[in-house]
Amino acid sequence: MKLVECVPNFSEGRDLEKIKSITKEIESTPKVSLLDVDPGESTNRTVVTFIGTPKAVVEAAFKAIKKAAELIDMSKHKGSHSRMGATDVCPFVPVSGVTMEDCIKLAHELGEKVARGLSIPVFLYEEAAQKPDRKNLATIRRGEYEGLSEKFQDPEWIPDYGEAKFNPKSGSTVIGAREFLIAYNINLNTRDRQFAHNIALNLREMGRFKRDKNNKIVRDSNGKKKRVTGKFREVKAVGWYVKDYDIAQISINFTNYKISPPHLVFDETIKEAEALGLRVTGSELVGLIPKEALLMAGKYYLKKQGKSLGIPEEELLKTAAVSLGLNDVSEFNPQKKIIEYQFKEFENSLIELNLREFANELSSDSPAPGGGSTAALCGSLSASLSAMVSNLTVGKNGYEEVQDKVKSLAESGQGIKDDLLRAIDQDTQAFNQVMAAFRLNRKTKEQKAKRIVTIEDATKEATLIPFEVMEKCVSALKLAKEVALTGNKNSISDAGVAGLTAQAGAEGAYYNVMINLPNINDKEFKSDISTKAISLKYDAVKLGNEIREIIEKALLE
């Protein structure tokens, strides 16, 4: 699932009606979820956080910026926070399924759209910056709104998008791309803030001032204070006392958790605390966290224990939460704390039904879910069985030589399982989109033309989903074959069922591909998909037969 976070800051924090009008533009955009609205009266500024698919996030951001330009007059704005425009800053943040490069492209797309459509000059910052001196937001914002007219006279400050022309009402907007910021606190068994701050100085990237043997700060030849760099890059930290909990905490901001993840900092904090005679009692997440950060932690701690990493996502998250002590001072609820879980990709998701509910829905007179979703389900069950057999081989006597391999197979099985579970909903949604396309109006010439294009696009999507299911089911077949050859022989029958269900999934998906192709006008698309689908079906049958031979031989021994 491709998800992007967007955190626009609007120069209005007092008029709740105006703020509501702006956020309504975001809420009304399909495939977007509004997560937080944080107005500040003294700053006269509101920080808004929302997530969604890449295309939808750009659309929602533009609509909100447009509404802010209509409602906010910067010539009358006063507030304690630095600002340049009605929409002061608007960063894109990769959450899942997207890269930083993708977010940079989104920043360019929105910047061009805002400048062209709203006549607001746009500067790009952070990872989207086109010049090194524009990477830092504070540098761009220097002089603020009041200094914009003069700034545009300087050739060095030509906007990245739009004219170097002062817009008195809307000012200027800074758009960019940055990594996700994780706010995280580590708890100590002390009330002494100085202990916590001392550890923070050792952890954070900027470190501490260098001191001589007399504890005096060391300066260079220009009189500038020297620093000793801390242990972790992209980490900011301070120590403080928290009255509500009656403990000292190390308050940490991770500006790039992929470089310095929370679990490594947590373990290093334990060492630092023990050196001071202290104990780390747990930790606390402030706000939201990307799922990947916790999955990394879960895998890290399981690997230290020599366990298989090929377990369900929910178990990995539980391992992370327990290992980091995330329930120490406040409740940790993954459904509320993980950012991806705040976005519902599918309404009335099929995979959230229990087995009876799914079977009942499948047996009704509704055409969806149907064979496509069932094929995906078969493939997911196959991958689950392969992961099970692999995990039943981990740590077993007689299988010492294949431990690394079966652990890897278990992880692969979990990944294929999750992809195919998602495809259950994708297939039904794709079918519903085709039906919706056929229901479009066709009274006018323009409506007829739009309807034809929409039906073609929807039918292609309804073909590509089962085609991708075929690819995943062939991967599941390859996995089942490896498991049958190397896995626990006491579970050989389970490996056999994994082969049967994967082949059923592949052939079932093949039927769904082929039934859609006659309804597509794009001959090149039809030919390409048909050729590839036939080849995948051949591979599926071949692998299925090979697995049967392995199973039959093993059962007769």
As a whole number, mean pLDDT of residues 384-396 equals: 97
8 Å CB contact between 553 and 486: no
Indicate whether 88 and 20 sit together in one domain: yes
Q: What is the CATH number of the domain that holds 291?
A: 3.30.70.670
Distances (CA, A) of 512 to 367, 384, 453, 474: 13, 23, 21, 16
Separation CA 118–CA 483 (nearest Å): 59
Residue 396 lies in a domain: yes
State phi, psi for 183 to the nearest 5 degrees: -100, 125
Residue 213 lies in a domain: yes
- pLDDT tens for 529-551 read 999 999 999 999 999 999 999 99
As a whole number, mean pLDDT of residues 212-222 equals: 89
As a whole number, mean pLDDT of residues 154-177 equals: 96
Provide the pLDDT confidence category of residue 330 given band limits of 50, 70 and 90.
confident
Residue 35 lies in a domain: yes
For the cut 90, the answer to whether the pLDDT of residue 29 exceeds it is yes
For 168, the token pair is: 């008195």
Residue 426 lies in a domain: yes
Query: Where among 146, 177, 208 does a domain terminate?
Result: 177
Provide the pLDDT confidence category of residue 433 given band limits of 50, 70 and 90.
very high
8 Å CB contact between 187 and 239: no
Provide the pLDDT confidence category of residue 214 given band limits of 50, 70 and 90.
confident
As a whole number, mean pLDDT of residues 302-320 equals: 96
State phi, psi for 478 to the nearest 5 degrees: -60, -40
Tell me what pLDDT residue 243 has. Answer: 92
Tell me what pLDDT residue 169 has. Answer: 97
Return the closest-CA partner of residue 237 out of 266, 278, 258.
266
As a whole number, mean pLDDT of residues 517-529 equals: 97
Provide the pLDDT confidence category of residue 345 given band limits of 50, 70 and 90.
confident
Cα 200 to chain centroid, rounded? 28
State phi, psi for 233 to the nearest 5 degrees: -75, 155
- Looking at the structure of the chain, the number of domains it has is 3
Return the closest-CA partner of residue 6 out of 53, 39, 43.
53
Tell me what pLDDT residue 291 has. Answer: 97
Indicate whether 475 and 337 sit together in one domain: no
Provide the pLDDT confidence category of residue 215 given band limits of 50, 70 and 90.
confident
Provide the pLDDT confidence category of residue 186 given band limits of 50, 70 and 90.
very high
Indicate whether 49 and 173 sit together in one domain: yes
H or E segment and range at residue 449: helix 445-486
Residue 15 lies in a domain: yes
Distances (CA, A) of 324 to 293, 313, 318, 327, 452: 12, 17, 10, 9, 54
For the cut 90, the answer to whether the pLDDT of residue 166 exceeds it is yes
Tell me what pLDDT residue 425 has. Answer: 97
Indicate whether 87 and 194 sit together in one domain: no
Residue 347 lies in a domain: no
Indicate whether 161 and 226 sit together in one domain: no
For the cut 90, the answer to whether the pLDDT of residue 205 exceeds it is yes
Residue 348 lies in a domain: no
β strands within 71-172, DSSP E: 87-96, 122-126
Separation CA 493–CA 262 (nearest Å): 42
Global pTM value: 0.89
The angle subtended at Cα 383 by Cα 313 and Cα 379, nearest 5°, is 115
Q: Provide the mean pLDDT of the chain.
A: 96
Rg (CA), the chain: 28
- pLDDT tens for 508-519 read 999 999 999 999
Query: Where among 177, 208, 225 does a domain terminate?
Result: 177
Provide the pLDDT confidence category of residue 368 given band limits of 50, 70 and 90.
confident
Indicate whether 358 and 327 sit together in one domain: no
Tell me what pLDDT residue 557 has. Answer: 80
Indicate whether 202 and 170 sit together in one domain: no
Indicate whether 528 and 385 sit together in one domain: yes
State phi, psi for 443 to the nearest 5 degrees: -80, -40
The angle subtended at Cα 526 by Cα 524 and Cα 532, nearest 5°, is 100
- Catalytic positions are 81, 427
End-to-end CA distance of the chain: 45
Tokens 């009605």 found at: 86
Tell me what pLDDT residue 68 has. Answer: 98
For the cut 90, the answer to whether the pLDDT of residue 1 exceeds it is no
- Structural domain that includes position 540: 353-556
Separation CA 93–CA 462 (nearest Å): 30
Residue 77 lies in a domain: yes
8 Å CB contact between 119 and 162: yes
Q: What is the CATH number of the domain that holds 415?
A: 1.20.120.680
Indicate whether 376 and 283 sit together in one domain: no
For 374, the token pair is: 């069932």
Q: What is the CATH number of the domain that holds 59?
A: 3.30.990.10
Separation CA 153–CA 397 (nearest Å): 76
Indicate whether 315 and 363 sit together in one domain: no
Query: Where among 321, 342, 363 does a domain terminate?
Result: 342
Provide the pLDDT confidence category of residue 221 given band limits of 50, 70 and 90.
confident
Provide the pLDDT confidence category of residue 137 given band limits of 50, 70 and 90.
very high
Indicate whether 423 and 478 sit together in one domain: yes
Indicate whether 65 and 138 sit together in one domain: yes
